[in-house]
């Protein structure tokens, strides 16, 4: 069985009720649920939440909420892998053990169904434990700077001051959209950022962290432009 697990706790602090806040005309979590269902990759699309209102919104988009997440996995320090592991083990107890699992974030309005299916194909072909979304840094991290306590500038890697940008190795970061993986890898809590993972590279225009209201405003503007130009279906 292939399972999509969408973690969506109710206690977001920086953007209250972020997971169900209206984003470009619909509840934020709806984009992830719709993409998961449309991808036809999954036997079940599950939302793991501690919040009854989120549960009802998730169901309205077609997801299942077979349990309410326990409090110890819904606090500010709860990590993603234990939440996914809890859901997998819940299904194990029901006699419906999943083989492949995709953890899909509730705040991923740029996710597309074809991305989910292509990433699953990459997971299978790579024989990795995980396949997750990454994107490149827009500026070489080797030439990054810090602002000191006395409001001055200091390079992290001063040896690269005179190195041309095109001569520096390109660096990538987690795009924060999805994490495909073998169910056993999640149950063993194997690290995702490791040589056992295969990166699925996304263009930067489909990636935006949404942690603050400034992020939210930027993401909505990006979403509207991408839809108008046909780059986001």
Mean of the per-residue pLDDT values for the chain?
Answer: 97
Residue 163, domain member (yes or no): no
In a domain, 142, yes or no: no
Model confidence at 41: pLDDT above 80: yes
Residue 145 lies in a domain: no
Strands (E), 38-95: 44-48
Percentage of residues in the chain having pLDDT higher than 90 = 97
For 99-149, the pLDDT digits (tens) are 999 999 999 999 999 999 999 999 999 999 999 999 999 999 999 999 999
How many Å apart are CA 25 and CA 49, to the nearest integer?
22
Distance CA 34, CA 216 (A): 20
Structure letter (DSSP) for residue 149: T
Neighbouring residues of 228: CB distance < 8 A, sequence distance ≥ 6: none
pTM: 0.95
Query: What does DSSP say about strands 130-136 and 197-201: parallel, antiparallel, or unpaired?
Result: parallel
> What is the domain range of residue 80?
2-134+173-229
Asked if residue 89 is part of any domain, the answer here is yes
Question: From CA 161, how far away is CA 154, in angstroms rounded?
Answer: 11
User: Quick one: average pLDDT of 8-15?
Assistant: 91
What CATH number is attached to the domain comprising 128?
Answer: 3.90.550.10
Provide CB contacts within 8 A for 116, sequence distance 6+.
Answer: 35, 36, 39, 41, 102, 104, 178
**Residue 3 and residue 96 in contact, taking contact as beta carbons nearer than 8 Å:** no
Does the structure show a pLDDT above 80 at 156? yes
What is residue 13's predicted lDDT score, i.e. its pLDDT?
86
Residue 140 lies in a domain: no
Say whether pLDDT at 233 is over 80.
no
In a domain, 143, yes or no: no
At residue 62, does pLDDT exceed 90?
yes
Q: In the chain, what percentage of residues exceed pLDDT 70?
A: 100
233 against 148, higher pLDDT: 148
Strand partners, 174: 134
Please report how the helices 113-126 and 28-39 are oriented relative to each other, as an axis angle in degrees rounded to 10. Answer: 60
Q: How many domains does the chain have?
A: 1
In a domain, 149, yes or no: no
Query: Does 200 fall in a domain?
Result: yes
Average pLDDT on 48-73 reads: 97
Give residue-wise pLDDT tens across range 15-33.
999 999 999 999 999 999 9
48 pLDDT exceeds 80? Answer: yes
Residue 70 pLDDT > 90: yes
pLDDT band at residue 215 using 50, 70 and 90 as cut-offs: very high
Map residue 128 onto helix, strand or coil.
coil
Distance between CA atoms of 224 and 233, rounded to whole angstroms?
11
């Amino acid at each position: 069985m292939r399972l999509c697990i969408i973690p969506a706790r109710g206690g977001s602090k920086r953007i209250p009720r972020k997971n169900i806040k209206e984003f470009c005309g619909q509840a934020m979590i709806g984009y992830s649920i719709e993409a998961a269902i449309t991808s036809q990759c999954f036997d079940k699309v599950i939302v793991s939440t501690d919040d009854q209102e989120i549960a009802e919104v998730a169901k309205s988009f077609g997801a299942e909420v077979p349990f309410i997440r326990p409090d110890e996995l819904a606090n500010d320090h709860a990590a993603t892998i234990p939440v996914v592991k809890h859901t997998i083990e819940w299904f194990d107890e029901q006699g419906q053990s999943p083989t492949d699992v995709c953890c899909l974030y509730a705040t991923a309005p740029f996710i597309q169904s074809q991305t989910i299916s292509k990433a699953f194909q990459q997971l299978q072909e790579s024989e990795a434990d995980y396949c997750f979304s990454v994107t490149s840094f827009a500026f070489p991290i080797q030439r990054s700077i810090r602002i000191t306590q006395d409001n001055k500038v200091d390079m992290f890697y001063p040896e690269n001051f005179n190195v041309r940008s095109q001569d520096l190795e390109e660096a990538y970061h987690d795009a924060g959209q999805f994490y495909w993986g073998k169910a056993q890898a999640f149950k063993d809590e194997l690290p995702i950022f490791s040589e056992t993972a295969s990166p699925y590279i996304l263009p930067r225009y489909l990636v935006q962290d949404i942690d603050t209201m400034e992020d939210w405003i930027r993401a909505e503007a990006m979403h509207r432009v991408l839809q108008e130009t046909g780059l986001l279906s």
